[in-house]
Amino acid sequence: DAGVIQSPRHEVTEMGQEVTLRCKPISGHDYLFWYRQTMMRGLELLIYFNNNVPIDDSGMPEDRFSAKMPNASFSTLKIQPSEPRDSAVYFCASSPIEGFPSSYNEQFFGPGTRLTVL
């Protein structure tokens, strides 16, 4: 398998522009996660999906951020309008279904998208 695929790898845009980040999870994985990494705040979960349904979006910073998963093999994270404080590395991760308590749920991360908003 190719692993989690993210595009673009780098994005530079100007304040006010719309930005769309894309993710293709590993085939067969039921969970998809979007994280944001900054120096100040570290790694933060933005939202995650189970079987294409958003389960927890409490980490989405504000209404400018939206995420969709139209099918099992594709998800987008959109920022509209973008602001300089959105500059960060955005990771997508996926994991297979599993159970508690003795099993675990390794999350496989994509390479990330480095977003710079000028």
Identity of the residue, 56 or 83, whose beta carbon is nearer to other proteins in the bound complex:
56
CB count in 10 Å sphere of residue 99: 8
Shortest spacing between CB 72 and other proteins, in angstroms = 16
Shortest spacing between CB 108 and other proteins, in angstroms = 7
Q: Which residues bind other proteins (CB under 8 A)?
A: 31, 33, 42-43, 45, 48, 50, 55-56, 89, 91, 93, 95, 100-109, 111-112, 114
Shortest spacing between CB 31 and other proteins, in angstroms = 5
Whole-angstrom CA distances from 41 to 69, 86, 89, 109 are 26, 12, 12, 19
Check: CB of residue 49 under 8 Å from CB of residue 55: yes
